[in-house]
Chain A
Amino acid sequence: MIKKIPYYILPIMAFFLFVFAKIKTDEKAATFSIQNIAKTYTAGNAISISFTTESKTATADLYLIHSYSKIIINAKNENGKLTFKLPLFFTEKTGSVSWHLLSKNSKASTGTFKIIPNNTTTTKIESYLGPRTILTGKQNFTMMVVVPTDGLDNPKEDNTAVIIKDQFQEDITSEQKNTTNFIAWKNIYSRVKSGKMLVSSQCEQTTTKEIETDIYPSIATNFSITYERNHDFADGNQITKLTTSKITDQFGNLVSDGTLVAFYITTTTNMVLKTYAATINGIAIAQILHPDHGDTYNIKAFVTGMAESQPIKISYQPLIKSFPYTFSKENREITVGPLKSFMNQIVPNGIKVVLEIYHNNQLVETLQLDSYDGLAKFYLSPSFYKEKEYQFLIHTLGITQKTEIKKYENHK
């Protein structure tokens, strides 16, 4: 049985030998000559390139290099003529094309041609404007860039005339620019007034829509502030309004709405208080609460880093000179008040009364209460204040009074 194996294998091997055998032929390299290639073609038109050869069988591939892409196309040999038809997507793009005819992996022929924009199609315009906001002033500008194209989206040839127009208030200008390297551009300079500027462009019969750029005011310049208040007493309740003059830039334009103005208030004790306001129509109105003690405020406003106001002074008169206080409930309840105001009326509720508790001249604790009907009642719970004696300092409305030392009995 085993001996017979070669008889089976041999025919099979023979069969495979025949199947995969290739005809070896001797063929001379064919020569190709150009039949028609123009120097330029117009985009969108069909392009076909043909070659002739003496061989009836020889074929070749055409390798095309274009800025758009690189492709290889092939053609049939029809009686010694090869015609290569370029695909449509390839012929619609402008640019120079170099071609290489490849036959049997070697370059048979080579050359270049150009595809130029198709001026018979409708002109289109691509335009860009930026920045979209600029500041007033001579040195600021926005740039309009226009790329006119043919209907197939190919940039037009250089030196195509483009008209760039801009409008600012009554002032409409129009200027012709020619494209270089496909684009035409213009630096449109800002004005001294803020507002909206519209820009458009035109090429041949085609016009763009309007594009806008906003001219915003430049940075603020120094300004002044004023104040307004109901009365000049330091009641810790009324409000003083601080108002800026109209803040403008150096050309007199009102600064943008929302510009933040910071008001810095320096008190007589050199504490810096502050309040903020954003401008509306150039004016910022901030408010501060009247102090609850006599004080003189020194106020200055800033658009920090850019502008400031002249300083102003506001004085507040103290509401009281002194105040009464009483002890009750075995000295455990301390009633401060009644606090009376400038017309001898009871002060508005919510006046801060601070009680400092001392034991042997050591501060034990600071309590704070708001006044109610002119009174503030402190209660010293025996479970917390266990010492035998305490002394108190009472601060309210800027006045400080010291009590005598009070004795405390047991704790219940």
Chain B
Amino acid sequence: MKEKTNKYLIVALLIGVVFHSSAIFFTLESTYDALIHMFFANHYATSWFEPWNYSWYTGFTVMGYPPLVHQSIGLLSLIGGLKFGMFTVAIIGIVLFITGVYRYTLMMTGNRNVAGYASLVAVYSSSFVETLHIFGQLPSIIGVSLLMHCMPEIYLWIKTGQYKYLFRALSLLAVTITSHHVTPIFGMIFFIFPLIGMVIMDVSREKVNSYKEVKFKLFLQTFFQLFKRIVLFGGASLFLIIFCIFPYWMNSKKNPITQVPIPHGSRDNFIEVTSSGLMFFVIPWGILFFILPYIFYRYFSKRYICFGLSITLLTILGTGGTTPIPLMVLGKNAFNILTLDRFTLWASIMSLPIAGEFAYRMAEGDFKEAIQKRFGNVYHRILGALFAGTFLFFAVFTITLGYFRPFQPQKINTLPLVNFLNQDQHDQWRFLPLGFGDQMATLSSQTKAMTVDGNYHSARRLPELTSRAVERLENSKFRGMEGIGSLQQFLTVPEKYNLKYVFSNDKFYDPILYFCGWHRLSQLENGIMVWEKLNVPPLSKVLPKEDVPRYQKLMWGIIPILTVIIAFILNIQIIFYRALKLKNLSTPDFFKFGVEYKKFPFKIIVVLHVWALILLGLIGYNVYDFYMHNATQISPKNVVRSYYDALDFKYYEKAHSYIDPNSKLSISQFMLETSVADGILNSYAKLDAIDVQILKESANRAELVAKTKWITPLEIIKKDFYHEAIKRNGKWYILPTKLDLDIPPDQFLSNNTTEFFKHGRRKISTQQTYHDDVLKQPELEILSAKLIKYKNEYIIIGELQNIDNSPADVILKSTLYNNNDEVLATFNAKYVIKHKLMPKEITSFKVNFEEIAWIKKDVVQPTTFNPDEFTPKNISETPANFDIQSAGNVAITDFYTQVALSDLAIVGDHLKGTLFNYGIQEVTVPELLISYYDDAKELLYVDHFFLREGVRVQRKQYFDYKLLDLTKCKIIQSSLKNCFVNGLPNGDLARTIIPNRKLEQGKEQLQKTKGKGYSYLKIEMNNYIGNPK
């Protein structure tokens, strides 16, 4: 009989290719992973045989990820660019997946119609849609598709023992290995072992009359009979796994992943974290969840029993942290490294043949008959329509998820950034993008310039990064405060990483940049703010790299593409025969074992109905619960919570709608009162947690307290807000709270200030430093420097003055030495210094010696990180000496001094005061530097304090600072001997500028007080302007 082309497969391919390939142009670039693959591809396109990449993480090796997909994109990019390459590979992946499901189903069921249905189901399968359009995991898709192509060949090899099948199977397996390493390893366990079981079952079946007669003894006998083939295949595939990506294994051994586990949604408890449950369980299963009993029923039939066990295990592992089983099965290590969503993906792919079978039986098979006989035609049609409708809904819902809830910041036009980096040798330094999402990979693939960050965290080497459960520095705010802590260290000591430019796409990070001594350079035309740090040396010409032997480079560059070529040669013939029907091929063996779909068991129909009802009930309950929880005005607690949610996202109109309408507070007035007040809490805080408690409640009125916790870039702020809620017409409203009533004295005011400008170069030249244009470094003088011990921590404190005539940007670095002049610790002044000084301005400073946080394994990581805290460096020896290296560079911005301390009182151990802003810029985050002096007016300690609210123009702001107990603060050494300014000894040049310094003047300015361990205070203001006008 001449074989006909399977029309379902053709339809599936046509629809699949059109549907997915038109959709990927809108989805793929905003997926989580696609841009990373593009970056890797760019690496191969530019240096095929060199595995070392300097762009990320101060250098890393691309041997940490199987290269085939990246290399293919790289090769194709030579024809039409990187995006062309990526889309082409994605389309190839789509075709491979659909045909793979077809072949896999054909092998499983031996029925071409069922296989056709399965391939149709595969097109819209929500797990596939999610993997491609949301996660963008191209290697994973290609890996699993090829594995499915490989399975019939494995079956036939073990069944028939013909070597052509073995070679085909191995050739396809090799391609799988070189495209994704996890797929073949787990594929062995979850797909190939059950497959072998099924072959043994089939061979045993041939010896007897029915599957019922296949007993364990026979099964074992057959197993020994086929043992040689199994071992041959197993051994060969093990060899391939090791050989094909040998450099990968070598690299894993040499650079074991030291990264602390990074939280991943697939490890969450899906019941607690419903968003993770949706992403990693509900969506991948999709409609399959409704026919789960059928899938298990079929897979636990005798022939498929091994698959049944496998899919059960996969299903359980896919539940992540919901049950303790995955953790027990995988062990702590694997559990924390693997993303568990892949198990659900495999389970759903494994279910596809059965789903196809179900669809077939429902559309034209015995299920249809059974239903029609029992419930009539109409019910069958309704059921079919519902089934198809839900199925399509899931696919559409999944594909558009990224549109409704964007996973990425809006698309960034990278061209201005690329131009900025190319101009004026800006690429001689590293840069750091902030708030870019995965688009940082796009930027990296377009520029030679390097960043300290990166987007493939398994390859990280810097302990500053591997010790943190932070995916990227760029989105550190989403990783709680731990991320900010990591970011802080990079921003405080940028010269260690040659980090000079920060591209900020998120205003959130602005205060931390300012207080670490960075300043705004310019806003690019795509809206991204460039921040710069002075006094950072450029990258050296030769950068360190870890080299690998040449044979590994050759293996890495040649084998993956070679596997494709070999697989192509070995399989092309058969594909041609099959597709073009040139030759009648013998029917493969598995066709013999197809079951006839004659009588759909009624029991299963009942079970399916009950199951569907249970599911619908659960869904209904969840929807109701969701509504009750989110219905904004159903209870006083909800209205307060919603009010803060709205404020957090700056939905002022929404927030205003929760205000009591009888209070006659107009929206414009509300906006004025709420949004005008700038400050760290209003402009830079992210609501981290809110706990609303009812203090007192009656039927129509309630008093509540909202205990809020805000994450700001500088510190965690906990603040309690008291509210009164009122019920009107069945809805709860918040009564408005009173706001600042202060009236500024003047309606109109003028102000004169000195502004500065420096030309980068006066002459257009490409010379690195044109002698004439180099400005003299401003002269600084360190007035005092002390090594103190406070709370078991060694700290350097002191005072510094800009004694030059030009304003200065100050960088202050201190090092501690032991008796043998060995370095114990070194760090820069972070928040406790004014980094920008006007001529003759003085600042106090403090240098804490920070350890790279949690670098020691045994140190318990705090569960919530406070950015204001840090891990002090454990200095075992008593420091005998210290030095201070300070450098001044001409600064031109960020000197706002027009804030007066207009009232002050010391009440007990509280310092209460009022700041008054008499200038014309709104101070967003005022910082106080509070210096403590002993009775001889010698500096004892320096502390800092951030005001939570800003100071608006001509307005007051109150502060309340708790004074410290310094009875145990000890000055160990006080010396200016080893202090240096711009590389020269401190004071040498200063004495030519100020021959006779009037030391008593500084002492005259101190505030006398009676404190614990101190007698005098000094207060300095450091004002951050968030939006300079």
| B743 to chain A: closest residue by CB | A349
Cβ of A287 within 8 Å of any chain B Cβ, yes or no, is yes
- Knowing A259-B838, A262-B1005, the reply to whether A350 touches B901 (Cβ < 8 A) is no
Q: What total of chain B residues lie within 8 Å of the partner, measured CB to CB? A: 60
Query: What's the nearest-Cβ distance from chain A to residue B417, in Å?
Result: 33
Q: Is B759's beta carbon under 8 Å from chain A? A: no
Answer whether A237 and B745 are a contact pair too, CB < 8 Å, given A259-B840, A278-B897, A305-B999: yes
Q: Does B840 contact A238, Cβ atoms closer than 8 Å? A: no
Q: Is the CB of B898 within 8 A of A276?
A: yes
Q: A278-B897, A289-B900, A289-B902 are in contact. Are A256 and B993 (CB under 8 A)?
A: no
- Looking at chain A, what size class is its interface with the partner chain? 35 or more
Bound CA span A370–B806, Å:
42
Assess the B1001–A280 pair: CB atoms within 8 A.
no
Q: Which parts of B701-721 form the interface with A (CB within 8 Å)? A: 703
Cβ of B753 under 8 Å from chain A: yes
The reply to whether the CB of A48 lies closer than 8 angstroms to some CB of chain B is: no
Smallest Cβ-Cβ distance to A194: which chain B residue: B805
Chain B 982-999 per-residue mask, 1 if CB under 8 angstroms from chain A, else 0: 000000000011100111
Counting CB contacts under 8 A, is A113 at the interface? no
Q: Residue B956 at the A interface, CB < 8 A?
A: yes
Q: Tell me which residues across on chain A come within 8 A of B900, comparing CB atoms.
A: 273-276, 286-289
Q: CA–CA, A259 to B900, complex, Å?
A: 17
Q: Name the B residues within 8 Å of A133 (CB-CB).
A: 776, 805-806
Q: How many Å from the CB of A168 to the closest CB on chain B?
A: 17
Q: How many A-B contacts at CB < 8 Å in the complex?
A: 163
B958 proximity list for chain A (CB < 8 A): 368
A1 CB within 8 Å of chain B: no
Distance in angstroms between the alpha carbons of A348 and B745 in the assembled complex: 9
| Given A370-B740, A381-B703, residue A275 in contact with residue B695 (CB < 8 A) | no
Beta-carbon contacts of B682-706 to A below 8 Å, as 1s and 0s? 0000000000000110000001000
CA of A132 to CA of B804, assembled, Å:
13
The 7 nearest A-B residue pairs measured at CB: A350-B742, A275-B900, A287-B918, A256-B805, A276-B897, A258-B754, A216-B805
**Are A258 and B904 touching (Cβ within 8 A)?**
no
Q: A260 and B838: CB pair below 8 A?
A: yes
Residues of the B chain whose Cβ atoms lie less than 8 Å from the Cβ of A285: 752
- Residue pair B1005, A305 in contact (C-beta under 8 Å): no
**Contact between A304 and B743, CB atoms less than 8 A apart:** no
For the complex, give the distance between the alpha carbons of A222 and B806 in Å.
21
Verify if B1007 is at the interface (C-beta below 8 Å from A).
yes
Flag whether A272 is at the interface (Cβ < 8 A). yes
Contact pattern, A 363-378, Cβ under 8 Å of B = 1, otherwise 0: 0000011111000000
What residue of chain A has the Cβ atom nearest to residue B918's Cβ? Answer: A287
- Which residues on the B side are within 8 Å of A307 (C-beta)? 998
**CB neighbours of A291 from chain B (8 A):** 902-903
The smallest C-beta distance from B777 to any residue of chain A, in angstroms, reads 10
Residues in B neighbouring A275, C-beta threshold 8 A:
900-902, 918
Residues in A with CB closer than 8 Å to B898 are: 276-277, 286-287
Query: Does A128 lie at the interface of the complex (its beta carbon under 8 Å from any beta carbon of B)?
Result: yes
Task: Tell me if B850 counts as interface (CB < 8 A to partner A).
Answer: no
Q: When chains A and B are docked, how far (Å) is the Cα of A308 from the Cα of B906?
A: 27
Contacts of B78 in A (CB 8 A): none
CB within 8 Å of B: which residues of A? Answer: 128, 130-133, 135, 139-140, 211, 216-220, 237-239, 255-260, 262, 264, 270-280, 285-289, 291-292, 300, 302-308, 348-350, 368-372, 381, 383
Nearest Cβ on chain B to A224's Cβ, whole angstroms: 16
What is the CB-to-nearest-CB distance from B13 to chain A, in angstroms, rounded to a whole number?
Answer: 67
In the complex, the answer to whether B839 meets A259 with C-beta atoms within 8 Å is: yes
Residue on B with the closest CB to A241? B918
Scoring B residues 881 to 900 as 1 if CB is less than 8 Å from chain A, else 0, what string do you get?
Answer: 00000000000000101111
In the bound complex, CA of A288 to CA of B904 (Å): 13
Contacts of B798 in A (CB 8 A): none
The reply to whether A260 and B841 form a contact with Cβ atoms under 8 Å apart is yes
Q: Mark B121-147, 1 if CB is under 8 A from A, else 0.
A: 000000000000000000000000000
Q: What is the distance, in angstroms, from A254's C-beta to the closest C-beta of chain B? A: 11
Q: How long is the Cα–Cα vector from A275 to B916 in the complex, in angstroms?
A: 9
Chain B residue at minimal CB-CB distance from A276: B897
Q: Is B382 an interface residue (CB 8 A)?
A: no
Known: A239-B746, A304-B1001, A305-B803. 4 other contacts (CB 8 A): A272-B904, A305-B1002, A348-B745, A381-B722
A239 lies within 8 A of B742 (CB): no
Contacts of B325 in A (CB 8 A): none
Residues of chain B with a CB closer than 8 A to A289's CB: 900, 902-903, 914, 916, 918, 956
- Assembly CA distance A95 to B900 (angstroms): 66
Contact across chains for B756 and A258 when beta carbons are under 8 A apart = yes
| Chain A residues whose C-beta falls within 8 Å of the C-beta of B743 in the assembled complex | 237, 348-350
Cα-based distance from A275 to B753 in the complex (angstroms): 15
Q: With A and B bound together, what is the CA distance between A220 and B805 in angstroms?
A: 11
Residue of A nearest to B695 (CB): A383
Q: Report whether A132 and B839 are in contact in the complex, using a CB–CB cutoff of 8 Å.
A: no
Partner of A131, one of B696, B776, B783, B841: B776
Cβ of B842 within 8 Å of any chain A Cβ, yes or no, is yes
Q: Is B905 an interface residue (CB 8 A)?
A: yes
Smallest CB separation, A355 vs chain B (Å): 14
In-complex Cβ contact of A306 among B899, B905, B994 (8 A): B994
Chain A proximity of B843: nearest CB distance (Å): 11
A288 to chain B, nearest CB (A): 5
Contacts of B904 in A (CB 8 A): 271-273
Q: Which residues from chain B contact A238 at a C-beta distance below 8 Å?
A: 745
Q: What are 21 residue pairs bridging A and B, where the CB atoms are less than 8 Å apart in the complex? A: A130-B776, A133-B776, A135-B993, A237-B743, A239-B918, A258-B838, A259-B839, A262-B1005, A264-B1004, A271-B906, A273-B903, A274-B1005, A275-B901, A276-B900, A287-B900, A288-B918, A289-B914, A289-B956, A307-B998, A348-B743, A381-B703
B412 CB–A CB distance under 8 Å: no
Tell me the smallest distance from the CB of B168 to a CB of chain A, in Å: 47
| Chain B residues whose C-beta falls within 8 Å of the C-beta of A288 in the assembled complex | 900, 902, 916, 918
Q: Is the C-beta of B672 less than 8 angstroms from some C-beta in chain A? A: no
Whether the Cβ atoms of B905 and A271 lie closer than 8 Å is: yes
Contacts of B545 in A (CB 8 A): none
Determine whether the beta carbon of A132 is less than 8 Å from that of B756.
Answer: no
Docked complex Cα distance between A217 and B1019 (Å): 29
B352-398: which residues lie under 8 A (CB-CB) from chain A?
Answer: none
Q: Chain A's nearest CB lies how many Å from the CB of B677?
A: 14
Report yes or no: A349 in contact with B994, Cβ–Cβ below 8 A.
no
Across the interface, do A271 and B1007 meet the contact criterion of CB distance under 8 Å?
yes
Query: Would you call B1008 and A370 a contact (CB within 8 A)?
Result: no
Once the chains bind, are A219 and B993 in contact (CB under 8 Å)? yes
| B842 cross-chain contacts in A, Cβ below 8 A | 304-305
Chain B residues whose CB sits within 8 angstroms of the CB of A264 once the complex forms = 1004-1005
Bound-state CA distance A276–B22 (Å) is: 63
Chain B CB count within 10 A is highest, among A257, A259, A289, for: A289
Residues of A within 8 A of B1001 (CB): 302, 304-306, 308
Cα distance A291–B956 in the bound complex, in angstroms: 12
> Does B1006 sit at the interface, judged by CB under 8 A?
yes
* Distance (whole angstroms) from the CB of B666 to the closest CB of chain A: 18
